[in-house]
């Protein structure tokens, strides 16, 4: 496992090598400059303007410690790029250079962006269906957790991980991280027996961010998007990272975007459960949003996440998608599409409760229920994030993937590759064929239907489809279909032997001319894939 | 029936008598001025500024035909009010007067306004739970339909009716109305055998609006709010009222608000299925919204309505509530609250399909299903509008309340007074006690729970409540409760003999200390009212 991580880190290092002559498209150019300045080097303003084929970007640089300032850039077009820096510090001003942006490597499809109203794609046009999981502190857990987590994500086939940029405090027994984002001024033991930290919020810890960056590059190397949560409320008086003043929050947001904006697999998640950081107002979040948005000339995906069913103003143009915490929309049919219909943006249900054995009500889903909720969201044209939290005791996080990563312990993760294979086989993303009239049937292309049966257990399914097929041509008479029975839990695909031929529409439905039915195995979580018969 | 309508019209006439010395609070003051002008009298701009206790309103006047210009005003505070007109026409300029606003009459609670985030109230503070129905053309159907409709609404106990200001064309056999909103320039029979109308869009027909106003006053007299739909797409080439140019639309919106703004029971519904008026853009609707909003200094409720599941940008401050067309949210538990949670405004599901015997899929609910959907929405803290459409043949609208009013034919309407009695007995509006965790249990006050069982048929209900009781204090141990079994269909209230006493919280629920259960009659549509036992 360590070996894999080393290889990935080497790959990552290659991505971040010094001022390069060639950089692949959506790769990362980095230039370093030495300067001695008086005062706090983190206060130095440095920007660089990159000019390339028909386009110009201005990015912020940042101080990386040891007298080194850096600018990073992700070229979005192939061809020759030149740059020039600007700073009040002479040694950092007017520094120029150039490089050539070459074709992207085989597994580099660029950053993920929105596609149409409800979906995602890579910058090179390849479809991207987010099938993510959650591991808040895998970067911070220390030891070989990062390497083991990368390996687990790769093995399971997830393509996104929701993770915290700053470590959280599950409880006071939670392991102390080796690194912190800020310079430590003082550490003392209080009268309460707890360690008290005093931070210099004007000085970041480059070593901390360097570690984070290696982790993010390791994710890129296995094709996983880093849904990076910048703020969270789970500190509970341990380090007070959830109670920083607004000027520190904005300084931090600016530093983070300067460092990480050029990483193609970064998504900005402004917060986890933002509404539990009760000292911050919506106006404060607007400021944080603006700072991140302004610091990112590439337009990485950007959202924010709230406590259960609180729902944010995702309709504002700056938010690229809705990152929702609410289990209700994916617990049963007919719900998730409501959220999509209202926001008219891609919707990711980033917390719908987790698979696990916890005693609380949010971490105790069965694997079946976790997987079912994911499919439930998918057939409605939304996306659902996985998470699992198994513990040997209530304060033992060693096996808790949600907390520290490591190895998955549960059952749902084993079905993720199968899920992705079903998604990848579709001509396009799913959406309800006839929204609000039929919550079970989804369209993924012309004459391409998905019927998810969920928990219904039946020995047969009558061939019965809506005439309406989402945005695709309506179903016509005399169309021949085959049906495959997919068992989403047991991961089997069974081609049903009969072929079906559509009647003329009867009201808003069509049936098989010979009243055909599909015999089913009387199991839950079946999905019917109904496609044109040749 | 005619007698009732005559009485109501007399009452209405009293409301609109000439320049009065006394006007009750939220009543209507009207002043008339004679002027001879050159050109189109509808082009004359006239405003009047009313100054009363601590407040000033400027309202637009309007031309009412026969050389008469009028200004109308709804005084919102008791005390002395003076007014002064302003116009480029000398005879209409600087006209002054005064009146005294006295206490409102017994049944005058003022206009309905929003209350908190999710609910409504009258201006005098009395609670208002919208329990509305739909009758698009009752004002336009002619004969004794208006009088019969008023009588039916009163008998059923509805307190809102959704209705079209301009007649629609269900089909070409639909009766021709006696009056039109615009002056008719020319009527001719086309080569297609159909009558073609040519309108002078610069001239309104005061007689038309006078009739509408009498109808709205008749509603006020029986305590029904007029949810007045200004535009709709259902013309199908008959009169082309759905295809007027934008300047006409805005002129019409301004005229309508000038005439009707002072009617306390008017709600503005900008459109029915706005998105089917395909020549209008969102920018056009923004203009219409602005015109209505600017023409109404009182801030009457304002919304807009779209085709199924299209969902509008109700988050914009100008919209007071969401007027949604979508059946999905009220077809089952756990859905309606999602819409409420996202918009953070009062939600009225103004079309969830209708009770009726039509062959289409939108007009064929049973009465049971219609009523169930209304309760389904109510327990989730939203509101649902009734409608019914029974026909003897597909083009016979004589019995179709949805179209022409008259008498209700179905079953759900008979249960409306019972529904309202349950609502009126509550200390406050309902909302889910523990949203997203329990879709069945609603809170309406401290220690006041409503559990709606919907279609579940069971012989017993185990006493089992969420600790969380919406915004009210959490449920404590040792609290004594009584349970009433309400049959929403058969309209019975049965006090269950046992008293229950709460355990300490077990997780997020409390139970009865003696594991008590309520025996149920094995019927659907039961509602349990669980309140503090004395």
User: Quick one: A133 and A8 in the same domain?
Assistant: no
Q: Give B42-69 pLDDT, tens digit per residue.
A: 999 999 999 999 999 999 999 999 999 9
Question: Burial of A374 by CB count in 10 Å (0-12 exposed, 13-18 middle, 19+ buried)?
Answer: buried
- Flag whether pLDDT at B218 surpasses 70: yes
If phi over 0 gives left and psi between -120 and 50 gives alpha, with beta otherwise, what is residue A376?
A: alpha
Rg (CA), chain B: 25
Please report where in the chains the tokens 């003897």 appear, as a residue: B392
- Interface membership of B332 toward A (CB under 8 Å): yes
User: Quick one: A170 and A272 in the same domain?
Assistant: yes
Q: Give B454-498 pLDDT, tens digit per residue.
A: 999 999 999 999 999 999 999 999 999 999 999 999 999 999 999
Q: Give A6-42 pLDDT, tens digit per residue.
A: 554 444 444 443 468 999 999 999 999 999 999 999 9
Last residue of a domain, one of B382, B406, B425: B425
Structure confidence at residue B173 (pLDDT): 77
**CATH for B320:** 3.20.20.80
A194 within domain boundaries: no
Please report where in the chains the tokens 């929050």 appear, as a residue: A249
| DSSP-derived secondary structure for A181-202 | SEEEEEEEE-TTS-EEEEEEEE
Range A77-97 average pLDDT: 97
- Using alpha carbons, select from B236, B239, B180, B176 the residue that is nearest to residue B208: B180
DSSP for residue B502: B
Q: Give B374-383 pLDDT, tens digit per residue.
A: 999 999 999 9
Q: Are A110 and A26 in contact (CB under 8 A)?
A: yes
| Percent of chain B with pLDDT strictly greater than 90 | 91
In this prediction, residue B7 has a pLDDT band, given cuts at 50, 70 and 90, of low
User: Quick one: B37 and B124 in the same domain?
Assistant: no
User: Quick one: B191 and B305 in the same domain?
Assistant: yes
User: Quick one: B401 and B462 in the same domain?
Assistant: no
User: For residue A308, which residues of chain B lie inside 8 Å, CB to CB?
Assistant: 435-437
Taking an 8 Å cut-off on Cβ atoms, the answer to whether A311 and B341 are in contact is yes
**Which of B332, B435, B507 is closest, CB to CB, to A361?**
B507
Structure confidence at residue A3 (pLDDT): 55
User: For residue A341, which residues of chain B lie inside 8 Å, CB to CB?
Assistant: 309-311, 326
Q: Are B439 and B337 in contact (CB under 8 A)?
A: yes
CB atoms near residue A377 (< 10 Å): 26
Q: Are B411 and B317 in contact (CB under 8 A)?
A: no
A180 within domain boundaries: no
In this prediction, residue B170 has a pLDDT band, given cuts at 50, 70 and 90, of confident
Structure confidence at residue A171 (pLDDT): 77
Distance from the Cα of residue A356 to its chain's centroid = 21
B98 within domain boundaries: yes
Provide the sign of the torsion angle of the four alpha carbons B419, B420, B424, B428, taken in this order: positive
User: Quick one: B243 and B168 in the same domain?
Assistant: yes
Average pLDDT, chain B: 95
User: Quick one: A338 and A358 in the same domain?
Assistant: yes
Nearest chain A CA: its distance from B273 CA (Å): 15
Range B211-227 average pLDDT: 98
- Flag whether pLDDT at A228 surpasses 60: yes
Q: Which domain holds residue A364?
A: 114-174+207-423
pLDDT higher at B534 or B273 = B273
Helices (H), A309-411: 328-331, 336-343, 367-379, 401-404
DSSP for residue B73: E
**Which of A309, A315, A437 is closest, CB to CB, to B436?**
A309
Q: Are B111 and B97 in contact (CB under 8 A)?
A: no
Q: 3-state class of A441 per DSSP?
A: strand
**Which of A311, A335, A508 is closest, CB to CB, to B361?**
A508
Q: 3-state class of B499 per DSSP?
A: strand
A198 within domain boundaries: no
**Which of A315, A339, A436 is closest, CB to CB, to B338?**
A339
User: Quick one: A314 and A213 in the same domain?
Assistant: yes
Last residue of a domain, one of B102, B134, B169: B102
The 10 Å CB-count burial string (b at 16+, else e) for B204-234 is bbbebbebbbbbbbbbbbbbbbbbbbbbbbb
Structure confidence at residue A351 (pLDDT): 97
User: Quick one: A410 and A461 in the same domain?
Assistant: no
Query: How far is the C-alpha of B282 from the C-alpha of B274, rounded, in Å?
Result: 10
CB atoms near residue A394 (< 10 Å): 11
- Interface membership of A455 toward B (CB under 8 Å): no
Average pLDDT, chain A: 95
Beta-carbon contacts of residue B7 (< 8 Å; ≥ 6 apart): none
Structure confidence at residue A1 (pLDDT): 44
Q: 3-state class of A321 per DSSP?
A: coil
Query: How far is the C-alpha of A11 from the C-alpha of A27, rounded, in Å?
Result: 12
Query: How far is the C-alpha of A6 from the C-alpha of B225, rounded, in Å?
Result: 71
- Flag whether pLDDT at B95 surpasses 80: yes
B236 within domain boundaries: yes
Last residue of a domain, one of A423, A451, A469: A423
- Interface membership of B316 toward A (CB under 8 Å): no
User: Quick one: B453 and B512 in the same domain?
Assistant: yes
Our count of domains for chain A comes to 3
Phi, psi of A11, deg, nearest 5:
-60, -45
Q: B177 vs B244, B321, B396, CA distance in Å?
A: 19, 32, 16
**CATH for A455:** 2.60.40.3950
User: Quick one: A344 and A283 in the same domain?
Assistant: yes
Q: Are A215 and A258 in contact (CB under 8 A)?
A: no
Helices (H), A351-398: 367-379
Q: Give B387-398 pLDDT, tens digit per residue.
A: 999 999 888 899
| Predicted ipTM of the assembly | 0.92
Instruction: Please count the residues of chain A.
Output: 534
| Percent of chain B with pLDDT strictly greater than 70 | 96
**CATH for B32:** 2.60.40.10
Structure confidence at residue A17 (pLDDT): 39
| Percent of chain A with pLDDT strictly greater than 90 | 91
User: Quick one: A63 and A123 in the same domain?
Assistant: no
B107 within domain boundaries: no
Query: How far is the C-alpha of B15 from the C-alpha of B3, rounded, in Å?
Result: 19
A188 within domain boundaries: no
* Strand ranges for A145-265 from DSSP E: 160-164, 182-189, 195-204, 225-231
Query: How far is the C-alpha of A351 from the C-alpha of A106, rounded, in Å?
Result: 32
Structure confidence at residue B19 (pLDDT): 60
B485 within domain boundaries: yes
Structure confidence at residue A15 (pLDDT): 41
């Amino acid at each position: 496992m360590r070996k894999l991580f080393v290889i990935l880190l080497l790959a990552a290092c290659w991505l971040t090598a010094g001022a390069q002559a060639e950089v692949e498209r959506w790769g990362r150019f980095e230039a370093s400059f030495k300067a001695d300045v008086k005062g706090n080097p983190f206060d130095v303003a440095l920007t660089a303007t990159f000019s390339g084929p028909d386009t110009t970007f201005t990015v912020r640089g940042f101080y990386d410690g040891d007298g080194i300032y850096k600018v990073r850039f992700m070229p979005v077009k192939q061809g020759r790029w030149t740059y020039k820096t600007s700073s009040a510090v002479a040694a950092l001003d007017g520094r120029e250079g150039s490089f050539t942006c070459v074709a992207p490597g085989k597994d580099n499809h660029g950053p993920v962006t929105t596609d149409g109203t409800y979906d995602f794609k890579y910058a090179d046009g390849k479809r991207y269906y987010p099938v993510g999981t959650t591991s808040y502190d895998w970067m911070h857990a220390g030891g070989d957790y990062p390497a083991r987590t990368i390996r687990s994500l790769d093995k399971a086939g997830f393509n996104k991980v929701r993770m915290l940029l700053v470590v959280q405090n599950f409880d006071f027994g939670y392991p102390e991280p080796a690194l912190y984002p800020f310079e430590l001024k003082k550490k003392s033991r209080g009268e309460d027996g707890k360690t008290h930290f005093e931070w210099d919020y004007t000085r970041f810890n480059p070593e901390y961010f360097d570690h984070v960056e290696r982790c993010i590059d390791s994710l890129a190397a296995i094709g996983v998007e880093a849904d990076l949560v910048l703020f969270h409320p789970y500190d509970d008086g341990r380090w007070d990272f959830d109670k920083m003043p607004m000027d520190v929050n904005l300084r931090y947001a600016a530093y983070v975007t300067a460092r990480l904006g050029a990483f193609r697999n970064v998504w900005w998640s402004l917060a986890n459960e933002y509404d539990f950081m009760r000292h911050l107002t919506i106006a404060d979040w607007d400021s944080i949003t603006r700072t991140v948005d302004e610091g990112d000339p590439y337009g990485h995906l950007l959202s924010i996440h709230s406590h259960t069913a609180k729902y944010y103003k995702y309709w504002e143009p700056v938010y690229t998608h809705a990152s929702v915490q609410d289990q209700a929309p994916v617990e049963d049919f007919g719900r998730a599409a409501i959220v999509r219909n209202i926001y008219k943006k891609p919707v990711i249900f980033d917390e719908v409760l987790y698979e696990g054995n916890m005693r609380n009500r949010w971490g105790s889903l069965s694997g079946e229920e976790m997987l079912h909720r994911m499919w439930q969201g998918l057939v409605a044209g939304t996306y659902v994030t996985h998470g699992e939290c198994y513990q040997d005791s209530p304060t033992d996080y060693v096996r808790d993937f949600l907390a520290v990563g490591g190895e998955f312990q549960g059952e749902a993760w084993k079905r993720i590759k199968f899920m992705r294979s079903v998604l990848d086989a579709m001509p396009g993303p799913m959406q309800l064929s006839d929204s609000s009239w039929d919550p079970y049937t989804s369209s993924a292309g012309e004459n391409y239907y998905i019927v998810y049966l969920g928990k219904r257990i039946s020995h047969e399914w009558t061939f019965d489809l809506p005439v309406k097929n989402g945005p695709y041509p309506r179903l016509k008479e005399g169309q021949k279909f085959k049906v495959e029975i997919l068992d989403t839990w047991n991961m089997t695909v069974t081609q049903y032997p009969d072929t079906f031929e559509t009647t003329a529409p009867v009201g808003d439905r069509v049936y098989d001319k010979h009243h055909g039915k599909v015999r089913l195995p009387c199991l839950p979580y079946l999905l019917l894939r109904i496609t044109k018969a040749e």
